[in-house]
């Protein structure tokens, strides 16, 4: 579930040469398109002023949202900024700017195109969320796990006193602090509502995203769990925080990281799991594959063939074998996949063999990954049995990524074996993996749904927190 861009990953330097206008003309929301290689790509920028200028860039169709601008400079006739994430550079230069429009040229890695931006109105949900943030204090913070720097946002109730705190841990892949998935700012929304209800909330950019540094590129879920514990240690230094009432809220893999952290440290006072798994990643991947293929009405013969290859790959990864011998199988599987594509996608593939070769190579690279080996082999059961704090487990009834029918019973059995009954499971029957109100629950549906949680989701979390955190001595 992570962000990918057409300038992927990014170092972007943008230069807009303007007619002479006041700096305030740059603040606001701008939407437009880049035309490159006869293809239009939508993008957006947002400039704000809160003591200093701040900016963000988004490319919605590539699930890249709110990329933080660095070194943002604005004067009477130009604006420039960087977005840092890779050695690539994309440059924008304007040749015409009016009060409400910016136009110019674009170049990257020898490719050139044109672009334009026009002043626009932000999304209604985004405006409402920004308005909600006026009700509490929001602070930009930095903390460290060894040499790795994490940049985040700490939100605090706008009252005098000390508050329980919640650290938010994102799902798999690199996410920014808002856990922005197809424009649905999951963690920003949760942080706003929990802070309104009297909780401090810390959300932060994952390693290598926005303001956080990369550290080891081979980091596993166990390292992400350690990042969460470092966030707790940081919060313990803050004067507004009740030091023995700091917990973790983890989404998907973030839930797994929360369980690992909670089993390792008594500093974790409580845990909230949003679609957190209770089985090994190997079991989860096999179940996901079978469920999603069935939902796509793929024949039982093809499903069995794909599951057989997936099982062989998982077993080989567990044994530490060289996966190169599976390239031919992956190549043949990719050829089979072409036949399953809808006509509009199938027709875009000009050379089936080259496409399948590229797919097989990419899959081998993805499979040779320490993160994947840990994810496939680690069974959360032993960590769940070691938990000694209140736990809230949230499932979506239509979740195809962490299905309730696979994960609910192992949680119950692990808590029973660990002798801990201090947990609660809540199921939202119509919710998907992101806890949106879903139709099919398929991942490709996420971007089409309303950018809001299913009814009762936030109130359920607040009610449980008030009972199990605020209500406990």
CATH of domain 125-279+379-470: 3.40.50.1820
CATH of domain 11-122: 2.40.128
The C-alpha atoms of residue 428 and residue 217 are separated, in whole angstroms, by 35
The C-alpha atoms of residue 183 and residue 236 are separated, in whole angstroms, by 32
78-84: strand order across its sheet: 64-68, 53-59, 39-49, 28-36, 111-120, 101-108, 90-98, 11-17, 78-84, 70-74
Chain segment 221-280, per-residue pLDDT in tens? 999 999 999 999 999 999 999 999 999 999 999 999 999 999 999 999 999 999 999 999
The C-alpha atoms of residue 410 and residue 471 are separated, in whole angstroms, by 29
pLDDT tens-digit profile, the chain (473 residues): 443 333 333 333 343 333 334 446 778 888 888 787 677 888 888 888 777 888 887 877 766 777 777 777 777 667 777 765 544 455 665 544 677 877 777 766 667 778 788 888 776 666 666 666 778 999 999 999 999 999 999 999 999 999 999 999 999 888 899 999 988 999 999 999 999 999 999 999 999 887 888 766 678 999 999 999 999 999 999 999 999 999 999 999 999 999 999 999 999 999 999 999 999 999 999 999 999 999 888 999 999 999 999 999 999 999 999 999 999 999 999 998 888 888 888 888 889 999 999 999 989 988 988 999 999 999 999 999 999 999 999 999 999 999 999 999 999 999 999 998 899 999 999 999 999 999 999 998 998 999 999 999 999 999 999 999 987 65
The C-alpha atoms of residue 227 and residue 221 are separated, in whole angstroms, by 10
- In this prediction the pTM is 0.78
Domain extents in the chain: 11-122, 125-279+379-470, 282-375
């Amino acid at each position: 579930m992570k962000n990918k861009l057409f300038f992927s990953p990014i170092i972007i330097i943008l230069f807009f040469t303007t007619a002479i206008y006041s700096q305030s003309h740059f603040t606001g929301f701008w939407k437009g398109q880049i035309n490159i290689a006869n293809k239009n790509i939508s993008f957006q920028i947002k400039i704000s002023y809160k003591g200093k200028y701040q900016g963000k860039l988004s490319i919605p169709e590539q699930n890249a949202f709110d990329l933080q601008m660095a070194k943002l400079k604005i004067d009477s006739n130009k604006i420039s900024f960087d977005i840092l994430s890779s050695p690539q550079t994309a440059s924008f230069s304007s040749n015409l700017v009016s009060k409400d429009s910016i136009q110019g040229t674009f170049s990257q890695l020898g490719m050139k195109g044109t672009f334009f931006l026009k002043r626009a109105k932000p999304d209604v949900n985004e405006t409402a969320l920004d308005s909600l943030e006026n009700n509490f204090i929001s602070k930009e913070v930095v903390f460290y796990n060894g040499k790795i720097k994490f940049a985040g946002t700490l939100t605090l109730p706008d009252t005098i006193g000390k508050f329980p705190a919640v650290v938010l841990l994102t799902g798999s892949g690199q996410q920014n602090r808002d856990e922005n998935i197809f424009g649905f700012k999951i963690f920003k929304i949760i942080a706003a509502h929990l802070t309104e209800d009297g909780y401090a909330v810390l959300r932060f950019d994952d390693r290598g995203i926005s303001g956080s540094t990369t550290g080891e590129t081979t980091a596993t879920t166990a390292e992400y769990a350690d990042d969460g514990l470092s966030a707790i240690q940081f919060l313990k230094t803050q004067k507004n925080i009740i030091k023995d009432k700091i917990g973790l809220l983890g989404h998907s893999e973030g839930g797994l990281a929360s369980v690992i952290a909670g089993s390792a440290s008594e500093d974790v006072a409580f845990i909230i799991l949003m679609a957190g798994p209770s089985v090994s990643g190997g079991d989860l991947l096999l179940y996901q594959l079978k469920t999603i293929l069935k939902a796509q009405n793929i024949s039982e013969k093809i499903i069995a063939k794909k599951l057989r290859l997936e099982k062989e790959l998982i077993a080989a990864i567990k044994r530490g074998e060289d996966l190169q011998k599976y390239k031919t199988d992956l190549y043949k599987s990719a050829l089979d996949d072409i036949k399953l594509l809808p006509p509009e996608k199938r027709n875009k593939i000009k050379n089936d063999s080259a496409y399948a070769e590229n797919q097989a190579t990419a899959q081998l690279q993805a499979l040779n990954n320490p993160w994947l080996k840990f994810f496939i082999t680690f069974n959360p059961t032993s960590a769940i049995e070691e938990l000694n704090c209140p736990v809230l487990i949230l499932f979506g009834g239509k979740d195809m990524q962490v299905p309730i029918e696979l994960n609910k019973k192992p949680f119950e059995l692990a808590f029973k074996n660990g002798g801990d009954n201090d947990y609660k499971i809540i199921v939202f029957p119509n919710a998907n993996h992101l806890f949106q109100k879903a139709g099919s629950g398929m991942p490709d549906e996420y971007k089409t749904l309303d950018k809001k949680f299913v009814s009762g989701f936030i109130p359920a979390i607040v009610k449980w927190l008030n009972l199990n955190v605020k209500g406990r001595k």
